[in-house]
Chain A
Amino acid sequence: MKTHPHHYEFTRRYGFYRPFVSVLTSGRILVIFFILTACEQVIDVELPYNKKIVVNAFVGDEFGVAWISRTVPIGTDASSQSSAIMDAEVKMKWQDSIYILGKNYSSNTFLFPTVDSRWQGDSLTLMIDWSGMHAASTARMPKPSKIKKVYLKPGEDPYDVSYLYAVIEVDAGVVVWTDYSIWRQPEAPMGFGRIPFFFEGDPDGVMREIEIYIMSNYNDVQPGSEIELSVYTADRVYNQYLKNRYHNNNEPFTFGGTNPQFNVTGDGIGLFIPVSVQTQRLVVE
């Protein structure tokens, strides 16, 4: 399975949404006629209030933090301090084991236990109880992807940049993304900023090899260079969220917004994403 490297870059830059929105909100669309006549006013209208627990939780080898907060009505201030609900009870369940997450009041976070390798390939359930409300999410922690090789692929013409690719072996229905250090000294992970790559794969759970784009190479990497590569693997639900997370617009010409696709159910919204991490040092081919 191959992907065009620029797919990621264009998606990242535009999300195929921004140009249209920028056109609409730049005040030029619908012509001078509308601009001359249209008027906006602050209105006193009572919008509905949907009280929800908000979950933002990632558990993996290098991280294991849950931010638990709540929604507040439109018109009130929402801040990480004011909306955090540290009096919530947060538990994680794996098979028959239940783990109660600890609290870090200085950062308003709940802390996951250290990852148990037995969790990989199995489902984890996060449960939150707060003020008579209950939210939960069950998600799979995929098996970690295996990095087979890293290599350079030349561009289409002699003046083009080359591209760094990796061949990895992944589980079906997962999202993978990479982080790398091209120097001999590894750098700190870049977190979740990189564009993930979704592999649909076969639903039979058999691991497949895929070719994944890592970066455009401006002569920083040569064959024989050493690189430390981390591959992060999460369940497909993360991909569903990523694909529409920017649809959350509410502007004059966008007819309301849509909520991202979360995987928390019950009285809550948000994400619970278990992540497997595989880090290897490899020689570029």
Chain B
Amino acid sequence: MCATGFNAAAYQQSSRTVYGIVTEEVTGEVVIGATVSLYRDSIIPGKPAERGAYTNRYGHYSVRELKPGNYTMVVSNVGYKPYAHVIHQSQMPLTVNTGKRSEDTIDIRVDVRLELSDINSNEVVVTAERDRPAIERISSVTLTPEFIKDMPSLGGEADVFRVLQLLPGVQSASEISSGLYIRGGSPDQNLVLLDGVVVYNPSHLGGFLSSFHADAIRDVKLIKGALPAEYGGRLAAVVDISMKEGNKEAVHGAGHISMISAGIAADGPVDSTMTFMVSGRRFYGDLLASAFVPPDEMPTYYFYDLNLKLNKKFGNNDRVFISGYFGRDVLGSPASDYDNFDLAWGNSTANIRWTHILKPELFISTSAIYTDYNFGFDARETNYVDATTTNTTRFASSSQIRDVTVKSDVEWFLPNDHFLKSGIDVTFHRFGSGVTGEIDDDIDKYINKATINALDVSFFAQDEWKISDNLRTNIGGRLYYFNQGNWIRLEPRVSIAYELIPNHTITTSFAVAHQFLHLVSRNDLALPTDVWFPSTSNVPPSRSEQAVIGYQTTFNEGMWLFSIESYYKSMSNLIEYKVDAEFTLGVPLENQFTSGRGAAYGIEFFLNKRIGDFTGWIGYTLAWSTRTFPELNNGKTFFPRYDRRHDVAITFQYRLFEDLRFSATWVYATGQAYTVPSGLYVYDPSWSGGTRELFTERNAWRLAPFHKLDVSLTHELTIFSIQSELILNIYNVYNRLNPFSIYTDYSYNFESDSSKRVIKQLTLFPIIPSIGLRFKF
């Protein structure tokens, strides 16, 4: 921890700005979202800080307009010991640059290093947390990778999205999916950012795992709706993930072996001004299986992901980050199969970013970004022409989205408690899709490919304004131009927080959002066959209008947070495939789409124990989500599959002993909305196979409720001088046979030599114990 104070000469001036970077003591990594509070003279219980600020994603903060006097400066964040220092008039700065810019303004740089702490029950932290304005918490939650890693998980694989699914307002489509269905929106309506770069399909294993390796993550922030203007391009929510920058002091590493994958991450200094972080993860089931199954009889499946980040410091005010992500899933049939297929999909991203502190109150970030998502499918069917001759029919399809983005943002701390954020973002999108068919070994070919280029320009500005001690607002807007169709759209955004009495705040927000990129999904399949498609003159941008009203309170000295939020969101120009769509072949694809509208509304309750040996939350959501498409379901309104009337999650982590931690989650959700057979009919009596099923209206039936209990025990130990953690997970402790799907099938009766149509339920995951190992070096 480094302590600093005011320059005595500067102190005589009328206005002061304190600014700097907050980093972690051991690693030197920046601390995101740390609270910087300046109390006049000293901390008095019940009296709020005179001035305050929060570090941005680069650890930068700035506090303006400090009047002459003594101050106690407190910098805190959950997971760290608080930095507290009495700043006295007579104190001279210790390690800071102090300069005079004008007659009226003194700039004082205070760089702070916070120490890690396991237990955060310190009174100062509590006070500072309590002082954090409620407007920062509207519809948003921040999670640390440590918390994520300690949660129970299937196969011991820590997964960011699986933990986010436990929050109120966030649903999962099924047990197999890590997709986030937030406040009635589908996963494509979420803006998923990895170090500011859009990741289009952030999943592995057919959607089972998210693409993000927990060992490489620094911070995860979820904003569930009514987004501030700084975020755009999606209707529903933001998942903003920051990667580690790299330890500035020494090379460190971490690794894990779960039942699903093994991964390793390392970070450290390159020199005194540069750090690195590299991580990799791979599914290893295929390698294990190869020991037992002949290679040509074994289907192929594996996934991997790689993260890399370099962080170079140029002086005190400039930094350059270079980061990249590469992930891929590969699936194929055994080589011995006559009819075989290959499937592959993956993301690649690269980002170079320059951040610059132009003035103490003015921070600039400029990035050049590349992101690519592609999906490919190739099926081959071999037919016998005669006893010795075969021919092959092949069908292959592909889709791709590739973006190149240049963006620049500024953060400006203005007088009178205004904090302005503004930025411009220019993205060039290239969408490609195609299909190739070959019949009888190239005798007949069918090739159809299409590419669409689109230019997307957006500008935003928002002002976080502390109008009074009780009233804060965030007012802003976002303006878009999308050249495919020449769409111009404006999005007003506003949030207001009013503290009725200390620690009791009501909040409200309203946001309009547009989405120019549509993930068009098949309703009937579970593969990542979905296609990203841009708005065109025939496909208008999707639009949502969301209003949120809430109440927040903290109690027991800030250890507990309780919030209620109610929301209503209307959506229009949502895109789905027509019922009679010709998948993939139907290029141009937009002819296969139909548009409709949606609505989502509900109320969320969240009780969160934030600090101490025992942490966790209880979340409950009562919600409705509907869709109405004139060309689907005969124009009748239907529930999407992920509509859940009731959704409950109870989760906690508890340190039993110094080296033993326990965590558990229990979830309950109303059953999936599902389409089931509601009768049989014979449609073509001349054909023996002419019996068909008549189905209900779309998703008109409910599967049985979903509930399960997961527990995890983490034992800290040292193996060969390596700090390790042995993790025992039990998934679905009471072996609830939750339905993944139901369907009709035939059951054969040997006694009567007849078969009967029966209804079957598929359960994916009964009770599954697993062990995992994590280690640090």
Contact = CB atoms under 8 A, between A and B. Distances in A.
A10 B757 contact: no
A256 B206 contact: no
Contacts of A14: 395, 437
Nearest to B260: A33
B582 A16 contact: yes
Interface stretch (B180-188, B262-270, B521-529, B614-622): B521-529
B333 A256 contact: no
Interface residues of A, number: 79
B685 A20 contact: no
B339 interface: yes
A253 B696 CA distance: 18
A256 B759 CA distance: 12
B207 to A, nearest CB: 9
Interface in A13-48: 13-14, 16-17, 19-24, 26, 28-34, 37-45, 47-48
Contact of B580 (A5, A10, A243, A250): A243
A84 B742 CA distance: 28
A49 B579 contact: no
A269 interface: yes
A20 B529 contact: yes
Contact of A257 (B379, B675, B691): B675
Interface stretch (B405-413, B472-480, B763-771): B763-771
A69 interface: yes
Contact of A13 (B208, B259, B393, B758): B393
Given A47-B677, A255-B526, A255-B674, A250 B695 contact: yes
Contacts of B333: 23, 26, 28
B437 A10 contact: yes
Interface stretch (B28-36, B109-117, B364-372, B438-446): B438-446
B206 A258 contact: no
A128 to B, nearest CB: 14
B524 A38 contact: no
B444 A216 contact: yes
A117 interface: no
A30 B205 contact: yes
B525 A254 contact: yes
B681 A23 contact: no
B757 A75 contact: yes
Interface string A214-251: 00100000000000000000000000100110011111
A156 B331 CA distance: 35
Interface stretch (A50-58, A87-95, A98-106, A179-187): A50-58
Interface in B258-310: 259-260, 283, 285, 289, 299, 301
A72 interface: yes
A54 B584 CA distance: 32
Given A16-B582, A160-B443, A73 B680 contact: yes
Contact of A42 (B341, B444, B524, B758): B758
Q: Which of A13, A17, A40 counts the most chain B CB atoms within 10 A?
A: A40
A105 B493 CA distance: 70
Given A38-B764, A41-B737, A42-B760, A71 B439 contact: no
A13 B394 CA distance: 10
Interface in B64-114: none
Contacts of B757: 74-75
Interface string A243-280: 11001111111111111010000000110000000000
A54 B682 contact: yes
A78 B681 CA distance: 6
A269 B694 contact: yes
Interface string B665-677: 0000000001111
A120 interface: no
B761 A43 contact: yes
B527 A20 contact: yes
B678 A50 contact: yes
B744 interface: yes
24 contacts: A6-B437, A6-B445, A11-B582, A13-B381, A29-B526, A32-B285, A40-B763, A48-B696, A50-B679, A50-B696, A51-B679, A52-B679, A54-B682, A56-B684, A71-B679, A74-B759, A75-B756, A75-B759, A79-B691, A84-B685, A247-B579, A248-B693, A255-B741, A259-B695
Interface of A: 4-7, 9-11, 13-14, 16-17, 19-24, 26, 28-34, 37-45, 47-52, 54, 56, 67, 69-76, 78-80, 83-84, 108, 160-161, 216, 240, 243-244, 247-259, 261, 269-270
Given A255-B674, A270-B683, 17 more contacts: A9-B444, A10-B395, A10-B446, A22-B341, A30-B176, A30-B206, A31-B206, A34-B764, A41-B763, A43-B761, A50-B678, A50-B694, A72-B679, A72-B680, A250-B676, A250-B744, A256-B695
